[in-house]
Structure 1
Amino acid sequence: MKVKFILLFFILSSNLLLAQKPASRMFYLDSLWNETEEVNFKYYRIIKDYYADQPLHEVLDYYENDTLQMRGSTSSVDRIIKEGLFVFYYKNGKRKTVANYQENKLTGKEFEWYENGNKKSVGEYILSSDKFEPSILVLNQYWDKEGQQKVIDGNGDYEESDDSFFAAGKVSNGLKTGEWKGEDKKSKLQFIENYNNGILVSGISTDSINVPHHYEKIYTKPRPRKGIEHFYKYIGKNFNFTKQTEGRYGKVVLLFYIEKDGKASDFKVLRTADPDLDEEAIRLISNYPEWESGTYRGIKSRFSFTIPISIQSPQ
């Protein structure tokens, strides 16, 4: 009897261990923060309690040398949707930024430091009334790299800069005002912008071959040219079910890119409905001819696009 009990306990324990999914999941990321293979990674990400059904999941990003790069919470494991307090770090381990997010948008107080630990800025983000527009920064204090305070109580000269980006201009009552000039080395462009009370009035960028581009928004996101309703009607009308997929249903979440010419590419299934249903959804989106490309400072650019599709097979 004792032998049988031990054997039964071993079988039940083994089945339980096999059924349990790991509490966390790790992803390797390249220099552009896209998922990649281990041999190419520059960062890696750990999402805690990845398989648990809960409103928030702790997310931690690390540099390739295992130094923490970011700590915060996401409301989705399919893609990062920042919620609450986030802390960012330099590769040397020192704090870079402390900020708050609401549905992936900056909101509330933000504190920044330089890589040597000296304070850089104190500001506050205000959510835009337009949910598609970024939050507005009200800058209260700013110090340059030499420790000189350039913005005092919301008034003065301010510089935004990192390894590949630079912009400089004046702030009044904490808001960008007048003419701002800058350069984006990654996008190979220079720009001049005019602001009024923190709102972009107009901008002109010059690309790598000296062609000017006028704009009134820094970003315009890619979208179906005839609207999202037309897109979903297209999916519903043209989705093909085979004998193998009859009776199947589910929700697929796809990440893909809209290229400069408006074509969809580089699909990734973030949440699967069924492998065959996923493939049919990818086929339809690839063939959809009515995408409008996104722009960055007036220049057509490659953007990622995430979309959920609920699929129900006809009975």
Structure 2
Amino acid sequence: MKKTLSLLLLLFLMNTVRAQRQNTYFFKNNGRQVTLRDSADFIRIIQEPDPGSTHFKLKEYYTDGTEKVAGYISRIFPLVYEGSYRTFNQQGKRMDSVYYLHGKITGQASYYYPDGQLRELREYPAPQVESNSGQEMAPPPKSKLIYWADSTGKVLVRAGNGYFIKTYQKGEKDEFTVEGQYANGYKTGEWKMKSLSGNDQYKEFFEDGKMQKGERVKDGNTYVYTQETEKPEFESGLKDLYKYIGKGLRYPADAVEKGISGTVGLSFVVEKDGQVTDLLVSNSVYPSLDQEAFRILKNCPKWKPGKEHGIPVRVRYNLPVTFSFGR
């Protein structure tokens, strides 16, 4: 009798797993979706929510089968992360462990060195929600550093206080040292960076984590700024970008005839001069829709480039383009 009950239970569990449909996708590391497993750098599996849940299970694997990502999402494209989220390197070592709410990191987050040693702990604010409308508001744009240790295990920041110093290499050309004081989890006072070659350095001044001013000298040129980083931006703003897309987009006749709609994901690089390059489809819907989304972005005007510490840098940007019959 016990054997019969065990067999029935096993069959029930197997049927339950089968009932939870899942989709498998193949991706390159630059975010481009490919059709063949042999062409992929990693594999993404999205499984339908468990009974009573609204969140999809998200799993990613390196091509050798090693786990890369484990988490949950509330939307498939673009991915909106929810709840516990962990990443691993190809050696199976944990790289980070964070918690998401409405696609934004909240609460305490842990980050690790490639050997699995704890590097830092950060505290992120919770997304704020308007009580009347239920609409999410942007959270404060800063996190608190709680703990930081160098690669030897020496703790430099504890309980949000300490003197931070880090030396790193950028590419194969130069070495940089960044240093400054943390107080109550935030940068304070003077922070400075200097390259080993001496051709790149900056000084930045902070109060409670907010930059007051920065000055950078690189290759003999001086840059004055008030933000550590600036995202790329369409020359006249995001609203005008969608106006540009809406005005120029043509719904392909074959997609109209077949009633096909959906959101095409595009990924591209905004160069230092604002040019859009390396454009690719990261989420495919239908060939003609993919091609039309690609066309409209390929011909778009220049953007304002992203900046780091006052100077333009190359930044990869992701953009959804929606085709809808109610558009």
TM-score by length of 2: 0.68
1:219 and 2:229 are equivalent in the alignment: yes
1:141 and 2:147 are equivalent in the alignment: yes
Task: Return the match for 1:202 from 213, 220, 230.
Answer: 213
1:65, distance to aligned residue in structure 2 (A): 4.9
Equivalent residue runs for 1:180-191 within 5 Å? 180-182=191-193, 191=202
1:59 and 2:58 are equivalent in the alignment: yes
For 1:86 and 1:21, locate their aligned partners in 2 and report how far apart those are by CA, in whole Å. Answer: 21
1:91, distance to aligned residue in structure 2 (A): 4.0
Structure 1 SS opposite 2:143: strand
Corresponding residue for residue 292 of structure 1: 304
1:50, distance to aligned residue in structure 2 (A): 6.8
Aligned residues: 288
Corresponding residue for residue 122 of structure 1: 121
For 1:118 and 1:57, locate their aligned partners in 2 and report how far apart those are by CA, in whole Å. Answer: 30
Corresponding residue for residue 101 of structure 2: 102
For 1:161 and 1:82, locate their aligned partners in 2 and report how far apart those are by CA, in whole Å. Answer: 32
For 2:292 and 2:31, locate their aligned partners in 1 and report how far apart those are by CA, in whole Å. Answer: 27
For 1:223 and 1:235, locate their aligned partners in 2 and report how far apart those are by CA, in whole Å. Answer: 15
Seen in structure 2, the aligned counterparts of structure 1 residues 131 and 201 have a Cα distance that, compared at 3 Å, is farther
Structure 2 SS opposite 1:136: coil
1:78-121 Cα distance to aligned partner (Å, 9 max, x none): 34333222223344333333222234432211234444554443
1:312 and 2:325 are equivalent in the alignment: yes
Equivalent residue runs for 1:25-40 within 5 Å? 25-30=24-29, 32=30, 35=33
**Percent identity of paired positions between Structure 1 and Structure 2:** 24
Seen in structure 2, the aligned counterparts of structure 1 residues 239 and 171 have a Cα distance that, compared at 3 Å, is closer
1:29-87 Cα distance to aligned partner (Å, 9 max, x none): 33x5555676675x4132232799x8433333444554333322233333433322222
Moved more, 290-299 or 192-201: 290-299
Matching residue's letter, 2:142: I
Matching residue's letter, 2:58: V
1:158 and 2:168 are equivalent in the alignment: no
Corresponding residue for residue 169 of structure 1: 180
For 1:242 and 1:87, locate their aligned partners in 2 and report how far apart those are by CA, in whole Å. Answer: 40
Corresponding residue for residue 268 of structure 1: 281
1:201, distance to aligned residue in structure 2 (A): 2.5
For 1:77 and 1:38, locate their aligned partners in 2 and report how far apart those are by CA, in whole Å. Answer: 20
TM-score by length of 1: 0.70
CA RMSD of aligned residues (A): 4.1
Structure 1 SS opposite 2:75: coil
Structure 2 SS opposite 1:233: helix
Asked if the contact 2:82/2:100 (under 8 Å) is kept, the reply is yes
For 1:143 and 1:195, locate their aligned partners in 2 and report how far apart those are by CA, in whole Å. Answer: 22
Ranges in structure 2 where 5+ consecutive residues have no aligned partner: 1-18, 129-135, 171-175
Matching residue's letter, 1:253: V
1:197, distance to aligned residue in structure 2 (A): 0.7
For 1:25 and 1:115, locate their aligned partners in 2 and report how far apart those are by CA, in whole Å. Answer: 27
For 2:226 and 2:209, locate their aligned partners in 1 and report how far apart those are by CA, in whole Å. Answer: 13
Corresponding residue for residue 79 of structure 2: 80
Structure 1 SS opposite 2:301: coil
